Amino acid sequence: MKKILVIINKNWETEPVLNALTNPKLRPAALPFPEVINTPCDGDNRMSQPRAVFSLPREGEEPLQVVVRCIEDLMATGVNTSSSLEKYKVLPQAIAADAADLIISVSTANYPDPAVTHNGTVVLGGNFFIHDGNPDNHADPEHNLIDDRVGTFIASNVAPAVFSLAETVNARLHCYPGGACKLVPPPNFPAPQLVCEGASTFTAVGSVNVTDYGSYDTIDAQALKEFAAAAPEGYTANSIETTHGVVKISTSGEPILFLSPITDRLNHFNEDVTDTQNYVSAFNGGLALGELLCALAEYGGERQI
């Protein structure tokens, strides 16, 4: 493994992630300041350059290069930045050009268990399920991403051992009972224990062709029902959002992980989500991502990803 490509969904998610990755007090000691850095950028920013490029030293091996990109930067101006189709138009070419050995998709999400809040936690997984949130509205160009993999379970193509790195991330963030956890509690319904969770059975459920935030609660319930009918036994839905699945089908077979900072509880979008909630949760994602990148650098260039 010589290169990792980190793909972050929106500008407002990218900025807090990069804040965490460049903070001299909070980023891991083993994570150097980026060689290339393009932040802060306004929400209407468009560019082909990466937001950041890191070079992580490794003993006895060449450095591990990490390129960070924002999907919104690549999208056409004037297009709804939640358009699944527009994301799918720009991602395959960008992913192919970077030629990474591993891709990490980063997008804020809700947690599909309304019984206990997970707000502020971070979820790491490698399986994907895509639900069409507007199957009867494909005439609208904002709602017409059509792909044969929609409605099917897409199994992880990452070695199961990689997911144990979530334990390393937790230890380094001190996210254990009694620890001085570095993750920040979000203002609305924070989880009782902030952690980074990861497992080879974790799945990102993505609803595509959805641009109306007000429809999330209804569509998320539909997506979970469809996932339950399609998923193999033992696999769980641990993240619901709109982008991880689009990133997955934009690859050409590269190993891919998803990393979801959790912002809200299932069916509580309007109660939980604010700009501050989004910022804090995405910042936590950046803290976890920094530790994960360092753990992957230590994992070794010759080990199976």
Helix (H, G, I), strand (E, B) or coil at 283: helix
CA angle 158, 242, 271 (to 5 degrees): 120
pLDDT band of residue 67 (cuts 50, 70, 90) is: very high
Q: Taking all residues of the chain, what is their mean pLDDT, rounded to a whole number?
A: 94
Residue 171 CB neighbours (<10 A): 14
Domain boundaries, the chain: 3-299
Q: In one letter, which amino acid is 117?
A: T
Q: Which pLDDT belongs to residue 187?
A: 98
pLDDT 10s digits, 263-277: 999 999 999 999 999
122 strand-pairing partners: 196, 261
211 or 69, greater pLDDT = 69
From residue 269, give the alpha-carbon distance in Å to each of 88, 215, 242: 25, 10, 14
The single-letter code of the amino acid at 1 is M
H helices within the chain, ranges in order? 11-22, 71-74, 84-98, 165-172, 216-230, 244-250, 269-272, 275-299
Q: What is the pLDDT of residues 142-173, one digit of tens each?
A: 668 888 999 999 999 999 999 999 999 999 99
Report pLDDT digits (tens) over 245-265.
999 999 999 999 999 999 999
Q: What is the CATH superfamily name and number for domain 3-299?
A: Nucleoside phosphorylase domain (3.40.50.1580)
Q: Is 21 helix (H, G, I), strand (E, B) or coil?
A: helix
* pLDDT one-digit tens code per residue, 86-131: 999 999 999 999 999 999 999 999 999 888 999 999 999 999 999 9
- Can you give the pTM of this predicted structure? 0.96
Asked if 96 and 259 touch (Cβ cutoff 8 Å), the reply is: no
In 3D space, the residue among 272, 297, 251, 295 whose CA is nearest the CA of residue 110 turns out to be 272
pLDDT at 14: 98
Contact 259, 124 (CB under 8 A): yes
> What is the model's pLDDT at position 137?
65
Q: How confident is the model at residue 302 (pLDDT cuts 50, 70, 90)?
A: low
d(CA 211, CA 8): 18
Question: What's the rounded Cα separation, in Å, for the pair 79 and 73?
Answer: 12
